[in-house]
Structure 1
Amino acid sequence: MTETGRVVRVVDGDTYDVLAGGITHRVRLLGVDAPERDQPFGKQAADSVARLLQPAQLVLLTRHGVDLYGRELGAVRLLVAGKPALALDSLLVVRGWAWAWDPKHKVAGRAAQQASALEKRRGLWKCGAVGVLTPQQWRRFNYKNKRRYGVGCTR
């Protein structure tokens, strides 16, 4: 089911509170994995999304079940007058603020979007692919390792 709503809070780069149908839904964006807030580039990814999703920005929300943390899994598309709805997951990958996550290769061009962001050194790829940790790797680290690797790229 697809419904119109507004993002009322950006939790992190790939998790949002969306008000749709009078209900606030905690939505985990499908198709991407953005850095955690305490991970290098995590705050930048979240801020980038927050700038896109100003309070008046309408979105289309399509929900696809619930994850292990009770968040609704879904797709969010930006509504811009006179233009086709823009998929937020693709936009994050193209701008370099999230990893493409498409294990079954259902989204045409998703790997190419990430390769382009890496080649152009956008977002989390600004220093190339060496030393970039995925959120899954980051979550496995203890406090000491997070302090050691938490600096990120300094260029």
Structure 2
Amino acid sequence: MRIERVVDADTYEVATAGGRARVRLLGVDAPEANQPFGRQATALVGALLQGQHVWLQVRGRDLYGRHLAAVRLRPAAFSPFGTMALDSLLVVRGWAWAYEPSRTIARRLAEQLQAQRAGRGLWQCGPAGPIEPRVWRSMDAETKRRNRGGCPRM
């Protein structure tokens, strides 16, 4: 499949035989486009994925009709490396939280802790700085406005 458009860091539109389909990346929760770090995370993923061919393993649909999928980046021609899991890449670079609501401990949590200790991406102001997207979505407009600043080093 080919990525046609990056909606935000964990939602994409892919080209299909029937047109386009919206895909939600499993294993992570990335900042919403309108919250602190959202634009940066979306831009990073956009630069990485736009027009790229990826492998998808669809595992159902969410409440919004998006396909829930594991996404793997295809290696460059003649690369000695195999595919790379996109959820791992986002967590390691610090642009998403490890997120698996069906598990007590997300599989990528060790990678998230590593990114936090290194101060990468949204963790550059420390682990207490960023607001999880599930919390952000529940905030009213005034609370979001007060918390829109993000990290002063951004």
* TM > 0.5: yes
Q: CA deviation at 1:102?
A: 3.1
Query: How far apart, CA to CA, are the structure 1 residues paired with 2:106 and 2:36?
Result: 27
Query: How far apart, CA to CA, are the structure 2 residues paired with 1:106 and 1:127?
Result: 24
- Hey, what does 1:80 align to over in structure 2? 75
- Hey, what does 2:93 align to over in structure 1? 95
Please give the residue correspondences for 1:31-46 in structure 2 after superposition, counting only pairs within 5 Å: 31-46=27-42
Q: Which amino acid aligns with 2:20?
A: T
Distance 1:41 1:51, change over 3 A: same
- Hey, what does 1:70 align to over in structure 2? 65
CA shift digits 1:113-145 (9 cap, x unpaired): 000100111111010012321001101111111
Please give the residue correspondences for 1:97-112 in structure 2 after superposition, counting only pairs within 5 Å: 97-103=95-101, 104=103, 108=107, 110-112=108-110
Query: How far apart, CA to CA, are the structure 2 residues paired with 1:26 and 1:67?
Result: 11
- Hey, what does 1:14 align to over in structure 2? 10
Please give the residue correspondences for 1:41-56 in structure 2 after superposition, counting only pairs within 5 Å: 41-55=37-51
Q: CA deviation at 1:107?
A: 6.8
Query: How far apart, CA to CA, are the structure 1 residues paired with 2:147 and 2:106?
Result: 32
Distance 1:141 1:115, change over 3 A: same
Q: Select which of 128, 140, 149 maps to 1:142.
A: 140
- Hey, what does 2:123 align to over in structure 1? 125
Partner of 1:74, secondary structure, is strand
Distance 1:63 1:117, change over 3 A: same
CA shift digits 1:11-40 (9 cap, x unpaired): 001000011345321000000000000000
Gaps of 5+ in 2: none
Partner of 2:50, secondary structure, is coil
Report if the CA contact (8 A) 2:123-2:129 is conserved: no
If the length of structure 1 is used for normalisation, what is the TM-score? 0.90
CA shift digits 1:37-92 (9 cap, x unpaired): 0000001001000111132x210011111101111100111101322011100000
Please give the residue correspondences for 1:21-36 in structure 2 after superposition, counting only pairs within 5 Å: 21-36=17-32
